[in-house]
Amino acid sequence: MMAEGFQQNRMFHSDLGINKDHFKMFRIPQKGDHYTIVDGMPFINGEKSDWRFLLPLILLDGHSATLENQAVAYQFTMTDPNDLFRRKGTREVYNDYFPNGTWVNPWSASIKDEDFQFLHVEGKSINEMDSYTIKQDYYWAMGDNRDDSLDSRFWGFVPFNHILGEALFVYFSLNLETWIPRFNRIATVLK
């Protein structure tokens, strides 16, 4: 809740008055949601949905998944292959990063159902499901350091009962146009 007359600073600045980043619509899963697949089309709580808004598998750090068919095995991990280039300072991809299968960049290629027969996570086969009901309220936690935060992109969704605490007061407030602290807001108790 913001005090009357208080204007929230823009998160992304643009001379045109629009957001520089392009955000796609997404749906936050909620406890009791029921996901079904009818004739190859996804439905959420009985309403037709779009495949682009469903995330069929979330890999946590240290885990891997493999899509297999008779000829090829595709290995996936939480690490974006482009991070290997950024973090290591080289544009060379070495085979030892992908020792158990063919290297496929899931961020630049689409794998269709007919391209694989089996999905294995940590060596265990995953069964295909035609419906799923969410058991708890889950939240997506996004860190403030977009490129290097260890947030839900790293450890997945957070169940509501794992969120502890609440905001009590404003620790620090900065006017982003002048870079001068807003002393009248610092230590303000939140209602």
37-88 pLDDT per residue, tens = 677 677 777 888 765 554 444 455 556 655 555 555 556 565 655 554 444 4
Residue entry with tokens 């482009």: 82
Query: Does residue 145 lie in a domain region?
Result: yes
Query: Does residue 4 lie in a domain region?
Result: no
Domain membership of residue 81 as a residue range: 34-163
Query: Does residue 13 lie in a domain region?
Result: no
Query: Does residue 69 lie in a domain region?
Result: yes
Q: Which of 144, 143, 154, 190 is nearest to 169 (CA)?
A: 190
Q: List Cβ<8 Å contacts ≥24 apart for 122-125.
A: 122/63, 122/64
SS3 category, 176:
coil
Query: Does residue 54 lie in a domain region?
Result: yes
Q: What is the pLDDT of residues 90-115, one digit of tens each?
A: 445 454 455 566 655 555 555 565 55
Query: Does residue 66 lie in a domain region?
Result: yes
Total number of residues shown for the chain: 191
Side chain identity at 13, as an amino acid letter? H
Q: What mean pLDDT value characterizes the chain?
A: 65
CA atoms within 13 A on the CB side of 17: 0
Query: Does residue 185 lie in a domain region?
Result: no
- Please tell me the pTM assigned to this model: 0.29
- How many domains does the chain fold into? 1
